[in-house]
Amino acid sequence: MPTPSNTTPADVDHGAHAVLESVITCPECGLSRLEVMPTNCCQFFYECVGCKRVLKPAAGHCCVFCSYGTVKCPSMQVQGGCCA
């Protein structure tokens, strides 16, 4: 398979695909919402649309999706570790 000219071999997908949607649930009010996760960074803050609480990752987690989502963030799914 040819490599596009604007990528390096490390950028080429080798069959690793991540689920990009996760249902995030606010621990304060219980509101659940389907969100699309960023693929280029870990999302450290998330403001609940219900109660306006700003969520932060729980201790030991890299992002709010790993703490409060139904699906871990893309970097955890593909690399098994945080993208930071």
**45-82 confidence digits (pLDDT tens):** 999 999 999 999 999 999 999 999 999 999 888 887 77
Identify the H or E element spanning 47.
strand 46-47
Secondary structure (3-state) at 34 = strand
d(CA 33, CA 53): 14
Task: Report residue 67: phi and psi, to 5°.
Answer: -90, -45
- Confidence band of 84 (pLDDT split at 50, 70, 90): low
User: What pLDDT sits at residue 81?
Assistant: 73
Q: Which residues contact 20 (CB under 8 A, 6 or more apart)?
A: 36, 37, 39, 74
The predicted pLDDT at position 13 comes to 43
Q: pTM here?
A: 0.74
* Model pLDDT, residue 36: 96
